[in-house]
């Protein structure tokens, strides 16, 4: 009968550990660290549980349009950037929300998936204009002329397509933790560092994690205006589109899965890390996350968009049409930058010089 030789790896240096009959403990011949047999067995069992992540989703989302639902909807195309948007038949001449150039009517909207849900616009154009004005306030390095030439009236309400993901995340994570304590006598400072293996297992659920389904909308821009309050979402009806534009999705749910996996995995790891307390240093050695009940839905979320060009560069601003959160990177006036740097620098230097002189005088 073949015998099976059990080998344990040293948690400290990775070498093969042997049993020291004098100590009656396991001891690593390479780094001389000693371990209890029972502790090593438990640690080895945990190492054997390590497995890769299993994150699968059911991405069948959206519905078929019912007869007559799309009758009032038209597709408009921008000859400049190629973007296609959907609007209702009453929409007059307008400009492309992506590049600001005029759009032309292409024809009747047909086909495509019907969204499952929509969050209707809660804030109007005036609120969006106020949002922009507030966003530009207090930015000392913003070029003045930028504030003046902003085409603020061209701000547009656009329904942006999103894929919303629900899942239950089951995780098993192993951390390495350290604790230190010190004491001293007149000649030496002693430091004892203890090493622990920390195992955490459990589950956490996610609901409606959004990933934007339009390649024309930068993911970073859409993520910056989160979160949306899903409690105000309603079943989709074309009537909500009246007066607004809507983008069609061109990024599928399958293509969005990687992004949502990253976010769900990070949040799961953060949630379990928060249960590890009382250690001076902690890092994750291994993490295994399995998703179950993973589902996707197709929704339209309200966003106010403004594109503006300044000095040959395109700047895009977005406001969450539900919460009013306004984002958008702004240009910097280099001249103002240097003026502030030198002004503050010289001012502070003068004050410090004066203080040094006073201090020297007081010292006598």
Partner 1 sequence: MKKLLSFLIALCLLSGLVFVSSVAVFAEDGDNVYVIDKSGLLEDYDVFKYDVVLKEMSEERNEDLLILITDGDSAASLAEEYGVEVDAESPFYLQGIAENYYDSNGRGYGEDKNGILVLMRTGEPFENNICVCTNGDMDGEFGDEDIEKLVDSAGPYLNEGNISGAVSACIDAEEQFFKAKESSVIPTEEELFAEDEGKVYFYDHAKVLSDDETGRIRDELKSLSEEFGCDVVIATSAVDMDDDSFETMYYDNRGYGTGEERDGILTVIIIDGSNTPSTMLSLCGKLAYEDTQDVKNEFDPDYKYDLNSNNYYSAIRLCIEAERRYLEKYQESLGFHPVKKGVIATLIGTVIGAISTFTMKGKLKSVTRKNQAADYVVPGSFELRDSRDLFLYSHVTKTARPQNDSRSGGGGGGFHVSSGGVSHNSTRF
Contact 70, 238 (CB under 8 A): yes
Q: Which is nearer to partner 1, 180 or 237 (CB)?
A: 180
Position among 22, 23, 110, 187 found at the interface with partner 1 (CB under 8 A)? 187
- In whole angstroms, the minimum distance from the beta carbon of 195 to partner 1 comes to 5
**Element holding 346 (H helix, E strand):** helix 334-363
**Element holding 152 (H helix, E strand):** none
Q: Which is nearer to partner 1, 42 or 237 (CB)?
A: 42
328: left (phi over 0), alpha (psi -120 to 50) or beta: left
Residues 59-78 that bind partner 1 (CB under 8 A): none
Stretch that binds partner 1, among 105-113, 155-163, 247-255, 354-362 (CB under 8 A): 354-362
Contact 138, 104 (CB under 8 A): no
User: Which pairs count as long-range contacts for 41-50, CB under 8 Å and 24+ apart, including other chains?
Assistant: 43/11, 43/197, 44/8, 44/9, 46/174, 46/197, 46/199, 47/9, 49/172, 49/288, 50/174, 50/286, 50/288
- In whole angstroms, the minimum distance from the beta carbon of 110 to partner 1 comes to 33
Residues 149-168 that bind partner 1 (CB under 8 A): 168
Length of the chain, in residues: 364
Q: Which is nearer to partner 1, 58 or 226 (CB)?
A: 226
Position among 50, 71, 226, 254 found at the interface with partner 1 (CB under 8 A)? 226
The span from the CA of 31 to the CA of 13, in Å, is: 7
C-alpha of 167 from chain center: 17
Q: Which is nearer to partner 1, 77 or 127 (CB)?
A: 127
- In whole angstroms, the minimum distance from the beta carbon of 6 to partner 1 comes to 18
Cα-Cα-Cα-Cα dihedral of 285, 272, 194, 180, to 10°? 120
- In whole angstroms, the minimum distance from the beta carbon of 36 to partner 1 comes to 8
Q: Does 142 bind partner 1 (CB under 8 A)?
A: yes
> 209: which 2 tokens?
């994690």
Question: What is the gyration radius of the CA atoms in the chain, in angstroms?
Answer: 30
Position among 220, 232, 235, 254 found at the interface with partner 1 (CB under 8 A)? 220
Position among 221, 246, 289, 306 found at the interface with partner 1 (CB under 8 A)? 221
Q: Does 204 bind partner 1 (CB under 8 A)?
A: yes
The span from the CA of 76 to the CA of 88, in Å, is: 10
Position among 67, 186, 231, 311 found at the interface with partner 1 (CB under 8 A)? 186
The span from the CA of 331 to the CA of 145, in Å, is: 11
Q: Which is nearer to partner 1, 111 or 364 (CB)?
A: 364
- Residue whose structure tokens are 């004491």: 183
Residues 240-269 that bind partner 1 (CB under 8 A): 260, 262-264, 266-267
Stretch that binds partner 1, among 88-96, 122-130, 134-142, 287-295 (CB under 8 A): 134-142
Q: Does 189 bind partner 1 (CB under 8 A)?
A: yes
- In whole angstroms, the minimum distance from the beta carbon of 81 to partner 1 comes to 19
CA angle 273, 279, 283 (to 5 degrees): 50
> 296: which 2 tokens?
């996707």
Residues 316-345 that bind partner 1 (CB under 8 A): 326-332, 337, 340-345
Position among 218, 235, 254, 258 found at the interface with partner 1 (CB under 8 A)? 218
Cα–Cα distances in Å, from 129 out to 6, 294, 314? 71, 39, 19
The span from the CA of 114 to the CA of 88, in Å, is: 15
Count of residues touching partner 1 (by CB under 8 A): 88
Residues 21-40 that bind partner 1 (CB under 8 A): 33-35, 39
Stretch that binds partner 1, among 53-61, 138-146, 248-256, 284-292 (CB under 8 A): 138-146
Residues 271-310 that bind partner 1 (CB under 8 A): 271-272, 275
């Amino acid at each position: 009968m073949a015998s099976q030789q059990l080998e344990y790896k040293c948690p400290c240096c990775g070498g093969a550990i042997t049993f020291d009959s004098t100590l009656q403990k396991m001891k690593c011949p390479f780094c001389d660290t000693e371990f209890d047999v029972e502790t090593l067995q438990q640690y080895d069992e945990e190492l054997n549980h390590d497995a890769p992540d299993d994150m699968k989703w059911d991405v069948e989302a959206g519905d078929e349009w019912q007869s007559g639902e799309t009758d009032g909807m038209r597709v408009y195309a921008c000859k400049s950037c190629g973007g296609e948007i959907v609007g209702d038949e009453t929409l007059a001449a307008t400009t492309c929300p992506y590049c600001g150039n005029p759009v032309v009517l292409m024809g009747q909207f047909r086909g495509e998936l019907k969204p499952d849900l929509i969050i209707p616009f809660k804030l109007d154009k005036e609120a969006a204009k106020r949002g922009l004005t507030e966003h530009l306030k207090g930015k000392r390095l913003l070029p003045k002329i930028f504030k003046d030439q902003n085409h603020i009236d061209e701000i547009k309400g656009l329904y942006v397509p999103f894929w919303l993901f629900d899942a239950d995340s089951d995780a098993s994570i192993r951390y390495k933790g350290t604790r230190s304590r010190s004491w001293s006598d007149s000649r030496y400072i002693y430091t004892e560092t203890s090493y622990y293996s920390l195992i955490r297992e459990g589950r956490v659920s996610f609901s409606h994690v959004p990933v934007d389904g339009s390649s024309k909308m930068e993911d970073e821009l859409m993520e910056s205006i989160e979160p949306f309050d899903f409690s105000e979402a309603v079943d989709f009806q074309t009537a909500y589109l009246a007066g607004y534009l809507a983008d069609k999705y061109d990024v599928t749910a399958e293509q969005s899965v990687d992004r949502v996996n990253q976010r769900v995995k990070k949040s799961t790891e953060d949630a379990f890390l928060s249960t590890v307390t009382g250690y001076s240093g902690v890092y994750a050695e291994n993490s295994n996350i399995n998703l179950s009940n993973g589902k996707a839905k197709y929704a339209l979320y309200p966003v106010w968009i403004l594109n503006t060009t300044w000095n040959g560069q395109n700047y895009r601003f977005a406001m969450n049409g539900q919460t009013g959160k306004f984002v958008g990177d702004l240009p910097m006036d280099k001249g103002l930058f240097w003026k502030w740097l030198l002004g503050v620098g010289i001012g502070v230097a003068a004050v410090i010089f004066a203080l040094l002189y006073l201090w020297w005088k007081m010292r006598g």
